[in-house]
Amino acid sequence: MLPRSSLTLPIVLLLLFLGASATARGEAAGSVRVLSPQLRAIAEDGLTMSKTLQELVQRLDASDVVIYLTCAQTEVPQARSFDGKLRFLSAAGNVRYVVAHVNCRLSREEQTALLGHELRHAVEIADDESVVDIRTFGRCFARIGFLVARDGPRVTYDTDAARGAQRAVQHDLRSARSAVSGTREK
């Protein structure tokens, strides 16, 4: 889901610094940068099992969008105030930066599927060159998506494409598990 709001400047600077640090250490940064160790393991497993995730990452790597993935806890145990959120950070040097927060209290499968959902939102940003700030980010999703929540000035949108990507990743995971189970039985 996509709240129409921004992060504070210190958080933006921290995320940009983390990306620059990885590059300075000689790590291949790529367009998808996972900040949470827990989410990194989930993303790595998901990429081995999901063609959908692989295709989304390839599309982002061919774009000018960098997405930071972070695992966020909900404040109340068992609460599902959100599953995932994508926020626009900034545009600088011909690169557009977004951050996705994934609810860590979900199962590994749910988190993996949500990665597909949020990566698809990032692809939607990559597909629309007019998205260069919070205002154009909101306009884009108001145009291509549908309203799911309004809390004062905060507006949250979602898209059918992102929900479809989430379902496709779930299908990929089930198929991969079935293939492994079928192989073990023989």
Q: Measured between alpha carbons, how far is 48 from 54 in angstroms, rounded to an integer?
A: 8
User: Which band of pLDDT confidence, cut at 50, 70 and 90, is reported for residue 73?
Assistant: low
User: Which band of pLDDT confidence, cut at 50, 70 and 90, is reported for residue 29?
Assistant: low
Rounded to 5 degrees, φ, ψ at 36 are: -100, 125
User: Which band of pLDDT confidence, cut at 50, 70 and 90, is reported for residue 80?
Assistant: very low
The confidence score (pLDDT) of residue 18 equals 46
H-helix or E-strand spanning residue 150:
strand 146-151
138 has pLDDT over 60: yes
H-helix or E-strand spanning residue 84:
strand 84-92
H-helix or E-strand spanning residue 162:
helix 160-185
9 has pLDDT over 80: no
The 10 Å Cβ neighbour count of residue 15 is 21
Q: Measured between alpha carbons, how far is 178 from 110 in angstroms, rounded to an integer?
A: 17
Amino acid found at 142: A
1 has pLDDT over 60: no
